[in-house]
Amino acid sequence: MRARKALALGAAIGSAAGAVLLRRRAGRSRDRVELFFDDGSLVTFAQGSPEAVPLLLHARELLAAARG
Amino acid sequence: MSVSVKRVSQAADALAHLTEISTQVEAAVVLDREGNVEASTVDDERAGRIARAALELFRQADAQREQELVQLDAALAGGSVFVVRDEERLIAATTGPGPTAGLVFYDLKSALRSFAGPKPKPKPKPRTRRAPAKRTTTTRKKDDAST
């Protein structure tokens, strides 16, 4: 009985940790632009937001130009 | 003529130092506010394309807020893009994926500073001539010393 409980608890903890890791990795792989202004403020536009579309387009152009 | 040679030399030195200290930077281009390339680590054709894209990226990003944009970075699947500006020019750089953004920004700012050259020294304040201090001597009485 105890062994079953321990096994279930271990599986629950493992799946929760896996979900967190997957979410973090998915978040990291999303393209984004960070803008730093002279008053110290920071604005982040992630892929999918309307503001990010033209910025990411130019950023990709820049990266492609650098890589030849 | 000597000024432009000095400037080109300064630019080459700044970018050589940048690529030397920052192993994360793959390519870098220094451009003026009009998009003219002043120095680069790549050939002229690629530098021109990078400069155009960097200027357009910076202008569009700057238009997002009323405050003035000082730097930006774009994290893409294949690598990252950085643009930093000072009063006169911009520097654009690319790195591989997952760079240490803070370090790259620091190196780019250093490169821009060295590109601009040393700041002129402030004029020293005129010194007012002070009267020489009076020499004072202390004498100790023998009686005091003995007690």
Chain B CA closest to residue A51: B64
B116: closest CA of chain A, how far (Å): 20
pLDDT attached to residue B2: 43
Measure CB to CB from residue B67 to each of A41, A58, A62 and give the nearest one: A41
> Which residues of chain A does B55 touch, with a Cβ-Cβ cutoff of 8 Å?
none
B123: closest CA of chain A, how far (Å): 29
Contact A68 B46 (CB under 8 A): yes
Measure CB to CB from residue B94 to each of A51, A58, A66 and give the nearest one: A66
> Which residues of chain A does B63 touch, with a Cβ-Cβ cutoff of 8 Å?
none
pLDDT attached to residue A8: 84
Answer whether 0.90 is exceeded by the pTM.
Answer: no
Chain A contact for B19 (CB, 8 A cutoff): no
For residue A3, pLDDT beyond 90: no
Measure CB to CB from residue A66 to each of B26, B64, B72 and give the nearest one: B26
Task: Output the average pLDDT for chain B.
Answer: 84
pLDDT attached to residue B7: 62
Measure CB to CB from residue B76 to each of A35, A41, A63 and give the nearest one: A63
B28-80, pLDDT tens digit by residue? 999 999 999 999 999 999 999 999 999 999 999 999 999 999 999 999 999 99
On whether the CB atoms of residues B26 and B82 are closer than 8 A, the answer is no
Chain B contact for A24 (CB, 8 A cutoff): no
Beta-sheet strands, E only, within B1-143: 25-32, 37-40, 69-76, 79-85, 89-95
Chain B contact for A51 (CB, 8 A cutoff): yes
**Domains along chain B?**
2-118 (3.30.450.30)
On the 0-12 / 13-18 / 19+ scale of CB atoms within 10 A, A24 is exposed
Chain A contact for B106 (CB, 8 A cutoff): no
Banded model confidence at residue B27, pLDDT cuts 50, 70, 90: very high
Q: Which residue, B103, B60, B113, is CA-closest to B82?
A: B103
- Rounded distance between C-alpha atoms, residue B102 and residue B98, angstroms: 12
Give percent helix, percent strand, percent coil of chain A, each to the nearest 5. 65, 15, 20
- ipTM (interface predicted TM): 0.73
A18-62, pLDDT tens digit by residue? 777 766 665 556 899 999 999 999 999 999 999 999 999 999 999
